[in-house]
Amino acid sequence: MLVFSACGTTRSDAERNEAAALQVVSFNLRLNIASDSADAWPYRREAAIALLRGADLVGVQEALPDMLTDLDERLPHLARIGVGREADGGGEYSAILYRADRLTCSATGHSGSRRRPMCRVARAGTLPSHASPRGAASEIAGPG
């Protein structure tokens, strides 16, 4: 299980609402195979990074280690959790990336044979809402 909490201070209602709004993205990176030719990862990389740059929380699927390295290098403001689905922790990942300046990871884990990262996500001032990226329960605590 992964638990996030957001850093917050006393703010006006408008500031709190704006700060509580999260940009959440689920994105299938689609491996990196030669048969993709013009659609291979090197040709999609910059567009994918541009799409993810403003996100607070990202769930990626079909991510290979070299693809995650690209994301780590070009999106240094996003921390990452998750392990590959192979027994040695390598192979294809379903990883979660999050803005470490806005969210705090206080617990991690994974579920199932595909080694999916798990998290629980809630916003401040609301009852938890649940989402299931690739079968994982998710909850994020917002500022408050």
- Where do the domains of the chain lie? 3-141
Is residue 26 within 8 A of residue 97, CB to CB? The reply is: no
**pLDDT tens by residue, 42-85:** 999 999 999 999 999 999 999 999 999 999 999 999 999 888 88
**pLDDT tens by residue, 76-132:** 999 998 888 887 878 898 899 999 888 877 666 655 544 555 555 433 333 333 333
Q: For residues 108 and 134, which has the higher predicted lDDT (pLDDT)?
A: 108
| Strands 78-81 vs 140-141: parallel, antiparallel or unpaired | unpaired
Helical H runs in the chain?
A: 13-20, 41-52, 65-74
**CATH second-level architecture of 3-141?**
4-Layer Sandwich (3.60)
Buried b (16+ CB within 10 A) or exposed e, 13-42: eeebeebbebebeebebbebeeeeeeeebe
Residue 90: CB partners within 8 Å, gap ≥ 6? 65, 84
Tell me the pTM. Answer: 0.66
